[in-house]
Structure 1
Amino acid sequence: MAGYFGTEMQQRLQARAEVAAELIASTPGACQAGRTMGCDDPDKFGWDRIGEIIEQDGVCGFRLIDADNVEEIRSELSSRACRLDTWDVFLADRETALAASEKFAHLPLPAEYSLSPTPIDPESDHMRRLQAMMAGAGLVPFSGSMLTGAVGSATTVLIGDAEGNVAACAHGYMPHNAYSPYHGYAWGGLVAVAEPHRGKGLGKVINALMINRVFRHLKASHIYELVSASNVASRRMVEACGLRLEPTLTCGIATPNKSGRFTK
């Protein structure tokens, strides 16, 4: 497993999450957060373990947490001089998401664009260009191994331009283990459109294509995407694909108070 990308810290966290893949799959309360170690049930995973992760890594992901428990989590983190940055959860079941997204997934692309094959080598130049495009769009990319599906069930969708550049991308994978009530839920994200190609509807198309694949290839029962409260364009995009705000759930990343927001 390889293909780490980004800052020294980002690459170290990617490596940690990959090395711990078997632990994550076999530990109640753990989940694969992609860029970091993560959990979907802090009580089952254990605060001692969460504390160790934050102390070692400076970050820990929280996925699909009951919104009623957020203040308790914030209080626990505050005692460790940490905070929780959160994202809203947009969620849909298979039938709803496919019905809404397929009309966009089947739209013909403008003449200068076409679907590109997903890189199969996590350390290839193709993969590096994909990760660089994500980073240029303000995202913290996953490792090449995550993006190729070498770490677990995953799909990465690319649209290329006439010169072979990555114009748009999206990724979906299955983060939750067999102990989780969200075992069948796919995470969708890393939706990015390179600056020269924006304003052409590619974001909605690539998101719809990713949604189609997580249900048809990964056999997910649901999909969720995470959007910050201020990101109006992304909220409209995921809503057009059938996802709706789920106020009973939230996702977040714990970091020391002195750190900046880990990703947008």
Structure 2
Amino acid sequence: MHGLSTHELLYRDKDLIANTPGLANGGIALAVVEPESIGWAEVTRLLEEYGFIGFSAADKKTVFNEIRAQLGDEGDLPFWDSFTCTVSDILPTCERIIYSAGKDVAFDSSLLPSAQTIADIVSLNREVGVSPLPAWYMRGEGPPSMTSWIMSHEGQMIACANGSMRYHAKSRMAGTYYVGAVSVSPRERGRGLGTLATALLIRDGINAFRPKAITGIAQPANAPSRGMLTKCGLVHDPSRATVIYNRSGAFHTR
């Protein structure tokens, strides 16, 4: 056994992933975008090494049966619905949300957040049960990454989010900006801070990366996450879902 954590495996393999159109580096999970392009034998090998593996924005009608047929019945198959939007449709909505933000918070985004900001984000992620992205990922040492956050005037981290250009330029999701990892302090919920963090992440990611489209995911029962995405202008795509084949039982996140 290699004994490496998922974060360490993804860092070790980051150049291989970046150069393979059928793969994407999610920071907390390896994602397969096009299993047919890398072959199911390679998907099986990667699953054995990582213990769990994702399938990004897959065809919801076929993905579950295909995974079972190719990889077996031993693993769990949690899934997240896909939400998408074009840049032209979403940017004005996000700008209105940011413009309307209250004056009792301070917010910012960075391609290279400081070590203290990263530590504060990881602490907040853990508090709310969101798997933290590794520091190297937030620094853009994997795919290009944007981190956004909101601070109280007392200097406390109260909301955050991360987005990345994780998809290969030759994949079916080329030019798509992924937004997620939204966390809001339990003491600050009900104020729209998750929506504000998401809007900030989308606006600043669009300005930095010039993507063609935006995508995010949310589990069917996670009404707050679904609400944040739709308020920012993303639309549920019922034909697509992101699925984790979780054989090791090690993948946990909201």
Choose from 198, 203, 220 the match for 1:207.
Answer: 198
**2:40 is the counterpart of 1:47:** yes
**2:68 is the counterpart of 1:75:** yes
Displacement of 1:110 in angstroms is 3.5
Paired residue total: 252
Q: Quick check: 78-87 or 56-65, which moved more? A: 78-87
Displacement of 1:203 in angstroms is 1.1
| Cα distance in 1 for residues equivalent to 2:91 and 2:179 | 14
Distance 1:47 1:262, change over 3 A: farther
Give TM-score, length-normalised by structure 2: 0.91
| Cα distance in 2 for residues equivalent to 1:195 and 1:187 | 24
Secondary structure, counterpart of 1:209 in structure 2 = helix
Q: Quick check: 70-79 or 158-167, which moved more? A: 70-79
Choose from 77, 85, 88 the match for 1:92.
Answer: 85
Q: Which residue of 1 is the match for residue 51 of structure 2?
A: 58
1:70-219 → structure 2 map (5 Å cutoff): 70-76=63-69, 79=72, 81-111=74-104, 113-116=105-108, 118=110, 120=112, 124-219=115-210
CA contact (8 A) 1:168 1:191 kept: yes
1:223-234 → structure 2 map (5 Å cutoff): 223-234=214-225
Displacement of 1:163 in angstroms is 2.6
Give TM-score, length-normalised by structure 1: 0.88
Q: Deviation per CA, 1:9-57: give whole Å up to 9, x if none.
A: 9x81112112212111222311122212221011112211221122122
Structure 1, unpaired ranges of 5+: 1-8
Displacement of 1:75 in angstroms is 1.8
CA contact (8 A) 2:89 2:233 kept: yes
Q: Which residue of 2 is the match for residue 18 of structure 1?
A: 11
| Cα distance in 2 for residues equivalent to 1:150 and 1:13 | 15
Secondary structure, counterpart of 1:51 in structure 2 = helix
Choose from 30, 35, 41 the match for 2:23.
Answer: 30
Q: Deviation per CA, 1:164-223: give whole Å up to 9, x if none.
A: 221110111011112202110011001111112112111111111111112111111111
Secondary structure, counterpart of 1:217 in structure 2 = helix
**2:244 is the counterpart of 1:253:** yes
Secondary structure, counterpart of 1:246 in structure 2 = strand
CA contact (8 A) 1:68 1:248 kept: yes
| Cα distance in 2 for residues equivalent to 1:26 and 1:49 | 15
Q: Percent identity?
A: 23
| Cα distance in 2 for residues equivalent to 1:213 and 1:220 | 11
Question: Stretches of 4+ moved more than 6 A in 1?
Answer: none
RMSD after superposition: 2.1
| Cα distance in 2 for residues equivalent to 1:59 and 1:202 | 31
Secondary structure, counterpart of 1:84 in structure 2 = coil
| Cα distance in 2 for residues equivalent to 1:191 and 1:260 | 21
CA contact (8 A) 1:31 1:175 kept: yes
| Cα distance in 1 for residues equivalent to 2:162 and 2:110 | 10
Secondary structure, counterpart of 1:75 in structure 2 = helix
